[in-house]
């Protein structure tokens, strides 16, 4: 079991040599999820050696180009490589129209099912749950409708206390029931209490993605206590007015959200091309939330 996030693009609207536009690949217990798909995402996937055909879920936040201009290209490459397995794309309803129009104009149809799920930045609900991983969406506060996402590991099974299990020579079939919290009675009528033979499960981890958004405390309830929060920090305090005008956040505002939500770690990204270094972002954020990092393209973050 593992849960990790690969940063494919940590920049904002204008790509730079060091920061691509927004995209992240999330690997969570054998689920392969792409969040946002800015221009050049498929090249970043290749550069960082992600098997792009394994991606089966794509979460798009909103329809500013730096968050989805790479999508039609990625889908086209999947098609050229012979993909036949469908893919599910969560995002604004207009996205389906745009992608279908783009592929239609090219004169071919994608050779696999595109399952669009429309999310227009106005609901908070669970959108996916396969018993191992769940995904929630919630509204962000941006110039156009924007979806935030939280990816969570579902509650894990109890762990078998092997020593006690073997000591009492418990029949092997009991193990499956114990892991689910059920007791077991053998064919000859011996009762085994699962509590005697199990340990507590590992903690289920969670990862929240908030980009793009202005400072809005309504976000807090949706990301309460997550392990890792990625929050945009397009600007620093010197550009606070610009942040407000463009419905973006400063590093300090991101830190205040992290603090209020009691998250464990804060990752800052969506850094404006105007900044050559991120020292000010870090200083301003850490004044409110110490456990803060500014991500770079290619960073692999283990959600532990």
Taking the complex as a whole, how short is the minimal distance between the CB of residue 264 and Zn ion, in angstroms?
26
User: Which region among 81-89, 211-219, 234-242, 291-299 touches Zn ion (by CB under 5 A)?
Assistant: 211-219
| Candidates 4-12, 164-172, 206-214, 238-246; binding stretch for Zn ion (CB under 5 A) | 206-214
Among all chains, which residue has been given the structure tokens 């494919």? 8
Q: Which member of 36, 66, 136, 297 is catalytic?
A: 66
Smaller CB separation from Zn ion, 212 or 284? 212
Q: Which residue has the tokens 């299990």?
A: 165
Round to whole Å and give the CA distance between 6 and 24.
Answer: 6
Residue owning tokens 């803060």: 292
User: Hey, CA dihedral for 147, 229, 231, 16, is it positive or negative?
Assistant: negative
Is 265 a binding residue for Zn ion by CB under 5 A? The answer is: no
User: Does 168 qualify as catalytic in the annotation?
Assistant: no
- In which element (H, E) is residue 256 found? helix 251-261
Residue nearest Zn ion, Cβ-based: 64
Is residue 212 at the binding interface for Zn ion, with CB under 5 A as the rule? Answer: yes
Q: Which residue stretch of 81-89, 102-110, 113-121, 212-220 sits at the interface with Zn ion (rule: CB under 5 A)?
A: 212-220
Q: Which is nearer to Zn ion, 64 or 265 (CB)?
A: 64
Determine if residue 232 is left, alpha or beta; phi over 0 gives left, psi from -120 to 50 gives alpha, anything else beta: beta
CA distance 7 to 11: 10
Pick the closer one to Zn ion by CB: 69 or 112.
69
Residue 248 as a binder of Zn ion (CB under 5 A): the answer is: no
Of residues 56-85, those binding Zn ion (CB under 5 A)? 64
Number of residues that bind Zn ion (CB under 5 A): 2
Angle at 214 between CA 211 and CA 219, to 5 degrees: 70
Q: How far apart are the first and last CA of the chain?
A: 11
Positions marked active-site: 66
Q: Which residues bind Zn ion (CB under 5 A)?
A: 64, 212
């Amino acid at each position: 079991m593992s849960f990790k996030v690969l940063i494919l693009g940590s920049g904002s609207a204008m790509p730079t040599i060091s920061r691509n536009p927004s995209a992240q690949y999330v690997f969570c217990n054998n689920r392969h999820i792409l969040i946002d798909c800015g221009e050049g995402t498929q090249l970043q996937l290749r550069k960082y050696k992600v098997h792009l055909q394994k991606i089966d879920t794509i979460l798009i936040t909103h329809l500013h180009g730096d968050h989805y201009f790479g999508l039609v290209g990625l889908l086209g490459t999947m098609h050229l490589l012979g993909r036949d397995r469908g893919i599910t794309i969560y995002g604004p309803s207009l996205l389906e129209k745009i992608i279908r129009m783009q592929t239609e104009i090219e004169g071919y149809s994608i050779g696999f099912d595109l399952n669009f799920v429309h999310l227009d930045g106005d609901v908070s609900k669970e959108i996916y749950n396969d018993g191992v991983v769940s995904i929630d969406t919630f509204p962000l506060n941006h110039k156009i409708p924007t979806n935030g996402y939280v990816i969570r590991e579902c509650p894990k099974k109890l762990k078998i206390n092997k020593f006690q299990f073997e000591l009492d020579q418990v029949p092997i079939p009991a193990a499956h029931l114990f892991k689910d919290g059920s007791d077991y009675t053998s064919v000859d009528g011996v009762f085994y209490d699962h509590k005697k033979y199990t340990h507590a499960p590992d903690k289920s981890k969670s990862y929240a993605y908030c980009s793009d958004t202005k400072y809005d405390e309504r976000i807090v309830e949706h990301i309460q206590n997550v392990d890792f929060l990625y929050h945009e920090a397009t600007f620093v305090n010197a550009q606070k007015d610009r942040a407000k005008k463009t419905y973006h956040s400063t590093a300090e505002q991101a830190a205040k959200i992290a603090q209020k939500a009691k998250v464990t770690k804060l990752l800052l990204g969506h850094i404006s091309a105007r900044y050559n270094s991120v020292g000010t972002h870090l200083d301003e954020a850490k004044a409110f939330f110490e456990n803060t990092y500014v991500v770079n393209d290619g960073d692999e973050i283990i959600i532990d």
